Structure 1
Amino acid sequence: MTEQNRPSAPEDAPGRPPAGPGTGAPRLGLCSVTFRRLPAAEVARSAADAGLEVVEWGADVHAPPEEPDTVRAVREVTDRFGLTCCSYGSYFRATPGELARFPAVARAAALLGAPRIRVWAGGTGSADTPPDERRTTVTCLREAGRIAADHGLELATEFHSRTLTDTVASTARLLDEVGADNVRTYWQPPLDVPDAEALAGLAELGDRVGAVHAFSWWPGNTRLPLTAREDLWAAVFRLLHGREIEALLEFVPGDDPAVLGREAGTLRRVAAQRPIPQPRVQP
C-alpha cells in the first residue's frame, strides 16, 4: 500500500480511546527523538500504527528550525497520518548566544502547529550554577517566553539533570523567577529515584506540568519495557486524572520501532485505569 493511499490513523488504530481538548483525558503520543534514525514519515507511520494521537517533533534531526521547507514537510506527514503536533522539542538552552536564533525556533513551532516549545534551563545543575549564571538563564527564558507568546506559544522546560530543573525545588523556584504565565515545565521520572519520591515531586509541581515523558529506566538509564514500572505509571495517571495533558513515549527499549506498539498498548492501558475511589468520611 502506498503512503498516499494509506488510511488515516484512526482507521489504522481502532483501539484508540477518545481524548483531546475538552475530554479531560491525557493525550498519548511519541517523541520523535525516540527514532532519530528514521525519516519523519516513518516516525509518523509508526506512531499512527501504534494508536497514538500526538507527536513531539525534535529540532535536532526531523525538524531543524533553519530548514522551513523541511518543517513544512514534517507538518504534512503529521497531518497525513492523522496526528497532531503537541510540542516542538528544541534544544535551546537559554544562553545569551542562543537568543538571536530563538525567533526561528518559534516560527518553526508555529509552522508545525505546535502549541508548545520544549526548552532546556541552562547547561549546569542547580547546585553547581553560580547566582549570576542562574540570573542570566532566567532572563533568557523570560525573553524566549515573550517571543513565544508573540506566536501564541508556551514554553516548557525539560525536567532534567545538569540543568536548573534538576530538582522539584529548583524547578519551582525557576518558574517563579521567570514569572511568565506561558512558561511551565515537563516532568519525567528522575533517574534512580524511588517511585514514592518521584510521585511526590510530580504532585508538588501540579498544574505547572504541561506534559510528561514516559519511559521505564532502572537502574540508571537501563531501558526496560514500560510494564517494568507499571505501578509508577498507573500512579502518575491517577495524579493526572481529569487534566488535559500529554504523555509522550520516549526512548523505548533498544530504540526498536518494533516494540512501539507494545509500549503504546501499556501506556494506553494504564492511562485508562480509573482512580481508586476514596472512602467517604462520615460527618
Structure 2
Amino acid sequence: MNRRDTWSDHLGLCSVTLRHLPAEAVIDVTRSAGLSRIEWGADVHAPPTDLARVAEVRELTEAAGLTVASYGSYWRAGVSPMSDLELLITAAASLGAPRIRVWAGEIGTAQADRATWDGVVAGLREACVVARDHDIELALEFHPNTLTDSVDTTLELLERVADDGLRTYWQPRLDEETEPSVAGLRRLVPVLAGIHVFSWWPAANRLRLAERTELWAAVADLLVRAVTPCDLLLEFVPDDDQDLVAEEAATLRDLFAAAVT
C-alpha cells in the first residue's frame, strides 16, 4: 500500500472540542464520524489525578476500535512544576498515549527575556529526559502567547532544546493568509508531530473547514507529498457542536483523498 493511502487512518478528534460531553459520548461521536483516534484532554476527560478513570477511558477507547493518539496537557515548561509532568507521564502511560502535548511557557516571544527562554529550554530538556524513561514523546503546542508563537521561534526553541524526543504540532496562525501559513508548515515538516485541524477566520471566528478549502487543500497537498502520515486531529468545531463533527470529518477526508489522487 502506498503510504499516501494511510492518511485516513490518522484522522481523529481532540476531546477538548467536546469537553462539555462525557468521554463515553466523545467516543460515540468520534466513531460515528468515521474517525479513528482521539487526543484525550487532561483537563476534563482523563485527569492525571484519577488514574482509575484514565484507565477506564483507555479501555472504552480501545473497545470502540479507536486509538489513543496523544494526551493533551496544559503543562507549561518553565512555569509548571516538574512534579506535575511526572503525574501526566504516569497518566499517559496508563492511557496508552505515545505522546503528551506541552506548552512553551506562558508569554509570547515579544515579551520574553533571556531568563524566560532559558527557563523554558531547561524545563523542556528535563521533561524530555523524564518522558524518555517511559517511552513517551513530547510535542509543543504551536500557539500564541508562548515561545512557539511563530515558525521561527518554534524552530529556535527546538534547536536550543536539541532533543529528538521533542517535536511540535502545527495549526493555522490567527489572521494568516493561506500562502504564508502553508510556507510555515513546510518549514516545520522535519519536526512535525501532528496537526490540529480547525478554521478560525478572521481572528477567532470559527468557520467550517469547507469555508477555508484553499488553506486545507494546500495543507493536504503538502502533507501527502512530504510527510509520513501523522495525526490530523479535528479541534474547535463551530459552537462546539457535536453534530458538526461528522461533516467536518467528511470534509477533511475528502480533502486528503483528493490530494492523494
Give the TM-score normalised by structure 1. Answer: 0.88
Shift of 1:22: 9.8
Q: Check whether the contact 2:106–2:146 (CA below 8 A) recurs between aligned residues.
A: yes
Write the mapping of 1:87-166 to structure 2, written as runs, cut at 5 A. 87-95=70-78, 97-166=80-149
In 2, distance between residues paired with 1:96 and 1:146? 17
Aligned match of 2:254: 269
**Residue 252, structure 1, aligned to residue 234, structure 2:** no
Aligned match of 2:156: 173
The one-character-per-residue Cα deviations of 1:208-262 (angstroms, maximum 9, x if unpaired) are 1110000011111111111001121111111111522011000101111011110
Paired letter, 1:175: L
In 2, distance between residues paired with 1:262 and 1:87? 23
More strand by share: 2
Shift of 1:166: 0.1
SS of the aligned residue for 1:91 comes to strand
The one-character-per-residue Cα deviations of 1:125-167 (angstroms, maximum 9, x if unpaired) are 0121110111011100111111111110110000000000000
**Residue 51, structure 1, aligned to residue 34, structure 2:** yes
In 2, distance between residues paired with 1:149 and 1:244? 23
Q: Check whether the contact 1:24–1:243 (CA below 8 A) recurs between aligned residues.
A: no
**Residue 215, structure 1, aligned to residue 198, structure 2:** yes
Q: Check whether the contact 2:78–2:116 (CA below 8 A) recurs between aligned residues.
A: no
More helix by share: 2
Paired letter, 1:221: A
Aligned match of 2:22: 39
Write the mapping of 1:180-259 to structure 2, written as runs, cut at 5 A. 180-241=163-224, 242-259=227-244
In 1, distance between residues paired with 2:144 and 2:80? 22
Paired letter, 1:179: A
In 2, distance between residues paired with 1:143 and 1:133? 16
In 1, distance between residues paired with 2:35 and 2:59? 17
How many residues are paired up?
Answer: 258
Q: Check whether the contact 2:42–2:71 (CA below 8 A) recurs between aligned residues.
A: yes
The one-character-per-residue Cα deviations of 1:167-188 (angstroms, maximum 9, x if unpaired) are 0000000000111011000000
2:7 to 25, 37, 42: 25
Paired letter, 2:170: W
The one-character-per-residue Cα deviations of 1:256-283 (angstroms, maximum 9, x if unpaired) are 101111001001100111358xxxxxxx
In 1, distance between residues paired with 2:99 and 2:171? 17
Q: CA RMSD in A?
A: 1.7
Identity level (%):
48
Consecutive unaligned residues of structure 1, counting only runs of 5 or more, are 1-17, 277-283
From the CA coordinates, give the structure whose radius of gyration is larger.
Answer: 1
Consecutive unaligned residues of structure 2, counting only runs of 5 or more, are none
Give the TM-score normalised by structure 2. Answer: 0.95
Q: Check whether the contact 1:23–1:244 (CA below 8 A) recurs between aligned residues.
A: no
Write the mapping of 1:2-13 to structure 2, written as runs, cut at 5 A. none
In 1, distance between residues paired with 2:57 and 2:94? 9
Q: Check whether the contact 2:79–2:105 (CA below 8 A) recurs between aligned residues.
A: no
Name which of structure 1's ranges 67-76 and 233-242 shifts more when overlaid on structure 2: 233-242
